[in-house]
């Protein structure tokens, strides 16, 4: 009876894994099957490096959207990663138990807030501040970076804290036995030992930032042009797809799907780069 149950569970797990793999494969086939022919028809250089996006004239250049996505994501990383990592270190190694009971539920609540609510927060709070400080509409690359930096905090904090706490207690105790203080033991022994998990948290944060759509649409300005300053309006690749997919047809629709192909490749490259960094760090 026990062997039959184990066999049944093995089959169940295999089916679940197969469904997951099949779902990813179907998505890839659909995206690449529709996007790659569009890139060939438009021209790879014209599509990737073109600076004009004008569907009415059959001109599809997504370079401004690529640059906008990179800039906004990079800004979110510069804001969110240091704050998230330091918060995770504080929660795992320095936070008093009573304060932890208050902070942890708040961080988990941040992860459950819908993107549209973040967008409203950015529109009603961050945008007016940007207007007062820099002038103009207040909607732009810097505003989107700040909001995305806030949005990726729960992911980075949760993953990093979990991995810091998973470091064996003997590492910390050994550092104390060698004469290190509590602070040095945590910062120089425990945190470096959790670097693989910390990198995983950063990767998840980047994925959340580069894939975010609704909140960015509300505060980024949505201008498909090359930004000249951090306060200029930008349009990300995800925003471009969402804004125009509802009425796009023929080559226009396929060009938007091709934009999804480029986004897919970007995320794949990011994951590969961090995997290489992780391997070098483990060595």
CA distance 153 to 82: 10
What is the mean pLDDT of the segment spanning 155-174?
90
In a domain, 55, yes or no: no
162, 198 Cβ separation under 8 angstroms: no
Instruction: Write the burial class of residue 258 (CB in 10 Å: 0-12 exposed, 13-18 middle, 19+ buried).
Output: buried
Q: 35: which 2 tokens?
A: 């996007």
pLDDT of residue 145: 92
The pLDDT assigned to 279 comes to 67
Show the domain range for 101. Answer: 63-282
Residue 229 has pLDDT above 70, yes or no: yes
Cβ atoms 234, 64 nearer than 8 A: yes
Closest CA to 155 of 93, 106, 92, 108: 108
Residue 144 has pLDDT above 80, yes or no: yes
Residue 30 has a pLDDT of 87
Q: What is the pLDDT of residue 149?
A: 92
In a domain, 54, yes or no: no
Residues 119 and 171 in one domain: yes
Euclidean distance between CA atoms 101 and 63, whole angstroms:
46
**175 lies in the same domain as 42:** no
The CATH number of residue 83's host domain is 1.10.3720.10
- Number of domains, the chain: 2
24 with 154, same domain: the answer is: no
Q: Are residues 154 and 130 in the same domain?
A: yes
Question: What does the pLDDT look like over 42-99, one tens digit per residue?
Answer: 888 889 998 889 888 888 999 999 998 989 999 999 999 999 999 999 999 898 888 9
For 111-126, write each residue's pLDDT tens digit.
888 888 999 999 999 9
pTM score, whole prediction: 0.84
Q: Evaluate if residue 37 carries a pLDDT over 70.
A: yes
Q: What are phi and psi of 234, to 5 degrees?
A: -135, 165
């Amino acid at each position: 009876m026990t062997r039959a149950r184990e066999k049944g569970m093995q089959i169940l797990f295999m089916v679940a894994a197969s469904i997951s793999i099949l779902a990813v494969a179907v998505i890839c086939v659909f995206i690449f099957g529709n996007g790659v022919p569009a890139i060939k028809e438009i021209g790879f250089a014209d599509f990737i490096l073109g600076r004009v996006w004008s569907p009415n004239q059959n001109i599809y250049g997504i370079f401004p959207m690529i640059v906008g996505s990179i800039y906004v994501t990079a800004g979110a990383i510069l804001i969110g990663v240091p704050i998230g990592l330091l918060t995770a270190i504080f929660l795992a190694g320095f936070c008093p138990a009573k304060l932890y009971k208050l902070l942890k539920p708040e961080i988990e609540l941040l992860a459950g807030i819908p993107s549209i609510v973040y967008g409203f927060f950015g529109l009603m709070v961050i945008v007016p501040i940007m207007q007062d400080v820099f002038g103009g509409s207040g909607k732009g690359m810097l505003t989107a970076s700040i909001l995305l930096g806030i949005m990726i905090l729960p992911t980075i904090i949760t993953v990093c804290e979990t991995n810091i706490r998973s470091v064996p207690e003997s590492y910390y105790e050994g550092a104390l036995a060698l004469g290190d203080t509590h602070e040095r033991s945590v910062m120089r022994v425990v945190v470096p030992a959790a670097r693989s998990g910390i990198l995983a948290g950063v990767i998840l944060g980047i994925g959340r930032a580069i894939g975010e759509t609704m909140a960015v649409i509300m505060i980024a300005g949505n201008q498909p042009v090359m930004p000249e300053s951090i306060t200029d309006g930008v349009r990300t690749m995800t925003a471009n797809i969402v804004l125009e997919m509802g009425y796009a047809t023929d080559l226009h629709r396929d060009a938007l799907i091709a934009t999804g192909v480029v986004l897919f490749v970007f995320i794949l490259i990011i994951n590969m780069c961090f995997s290489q960094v992780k391997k070098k760090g483990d060595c």
